[in-house]
């Protein structure tokens, strides 16, 4: 099994629909992150969580919400999807000690039509 | 404004040569800098980390340098192979920011 598992791998949804992307990790790490990747813009942080009770906004959190259901699970929701949220979404995890590399999932390709 | 720039979008080199990728940053004060590899349709994979007080770090055929005066990191792959073809991302940690900021990446193609 992968260290970080994202579901679904691909999703097409309609404008205005609510959608949830799920992430689970088996690394036992405290920190989890959601990024989106767009061509030419690189990876941008949406939300991050340092433990179950700690949720923080990243640089592009508008239009998104998250839930940290357990140490191993961190889900991202789009409350009312819009076309410019079409992107590749990645979940990642890291150890609490600073300087550790991030472990990323394989991504979810989301298309909003 | 804050920027992380990687030297070019694409770099082609002959097999066996050394590939050198550049990462320049503006208006950041990173505690450390990381390099990742990303293959099409996959998530980034962590390669190396170098701290602000380190000049150079090596791992097998990979070497990273970090010059905080020039605000630049160089990433070298020696004896390059076609299997090294991928996009390489640099990322840095802004002191106190608690997360990584990524460059847009350089797509490396190693030609047999």
Instruction: Tell me the average pLDDT across B64-75.
Output: 94
How many Å lie between the alpha carbon of A109 and the closest alpha carbon of chain B? 9
pLDDT at B31: 82
Q: Which residue of B has its CA nearest to A87?
A: B41
- From chain A residues 27-66, the ones with a CB under 8 A of any chain B CB are 33, 35, 40-45, 48, 50, 56, 58
Q: Could you tell me where the beta strands, DSSP code E, fall in B1-105? A: 3-6, 10-14, 19-26, 30-38, 45-51, 56-59, 62-67, 72-77, 86-94, 100-102
Does A2 have pLDDT greater than 80? no
The pLDDT tens digits for A52-107 are 999 999 989 999 999 999 999 999 999 999 999 999 999 999 986 656 789 999 99
Instruction: Tell me the average pLDDT across A33-52.
Output: 92
What rounded mean pLDDT belongs to chain B? 92
Residue A38, Cβ neighbours under 10 Å: how many?
A: 13
Which residues on neighbouring strands pair with residue B23, listed in sequence order?
B6, B73
List of chain B residues whose C-beta atoms are within 8 Å of the C-beta of residue A58: 99
Instruction: Tell me the average pLDDT across B77-106.
Output: 90
Instruction: Tell me the average pLDDT across B95-112.
Output: 88
How many Å lie between the alpha carbon of A42 and the closest alpha carbon of chain B? 4
Between CA A70 and CA B79 the distance in angstroms is 44
Does A43 have pLDDT greater than 80? yes
Instruction: Tell me the average pLDDT across B2-11.
Output: 85
**Cβ density class B14-44: b for 16+ within 10 Å, e for less:** eeeeebebbbbbeebebebbbbbbbeeeebb
- Put simply, the answer to whether A43 touches B31 (Cβ < 8 Å) is no
Among candidates B64, B110, B102, which has minimal Cα distance to B86? B110
| Structure tokens given for A98 | 């600073």
Residue B46, Cβ neighbours under 10 Å: how many?
A: 17
What rounded mean pLDDT belongs to chain A? 93
pLDDT at B7: 77
How many Å lie between the alpha carbon of B4 and the closest alpha carbon of chain A? 10
pLDDT at A75: 98
pLDDT at A40: 80
């Amino acid at each position: 099994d992968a260290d970080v598992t994202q579901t679904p791998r691909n999703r097409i949804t309609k404008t205005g629909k609510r959608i949830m992307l799920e992430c689970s990790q088996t690394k036992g790490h405290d920190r989890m992150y959601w990024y989106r990747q767009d061509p030419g813009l690189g990876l941008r942080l949406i939300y991050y969580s340092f433990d179950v009770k700690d949720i923080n906004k990243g640089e592009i959190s508008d239009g998104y919400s998250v839930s940290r259901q357990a140490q191993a699970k961190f889900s991202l929701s789009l409350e009312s999807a819009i076309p410019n949220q079409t992107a590749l979404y990645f979940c990642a995890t890291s150890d609490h000690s600073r300087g550790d590399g991030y472990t990323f999932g394989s991504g979810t390709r989301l298309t909003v039509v | 404004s804050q920027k992380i720039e990687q030297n070019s979008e694409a770099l082609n080199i002959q097999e066996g040569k050394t590939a050198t990728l550049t990462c320049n940053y503006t208006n950041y004060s990173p505690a450390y800098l990381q390099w990742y590899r990303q293959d099409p349709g996959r998530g980034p994979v962590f390669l190396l980390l170098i701290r602000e007080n380190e000049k150079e770090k090596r791992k097998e055929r990979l070497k990273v340098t970090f010059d905080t005066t020039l605000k630049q990191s160089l990433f070298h792959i020696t004896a390059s192979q076609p299997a090294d073809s991928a996009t390489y991302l640099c990322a840095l940690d802004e002191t106190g920011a608690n997360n990584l900021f990524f460059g847009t990446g350089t797509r490396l193609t190693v030609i047999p």
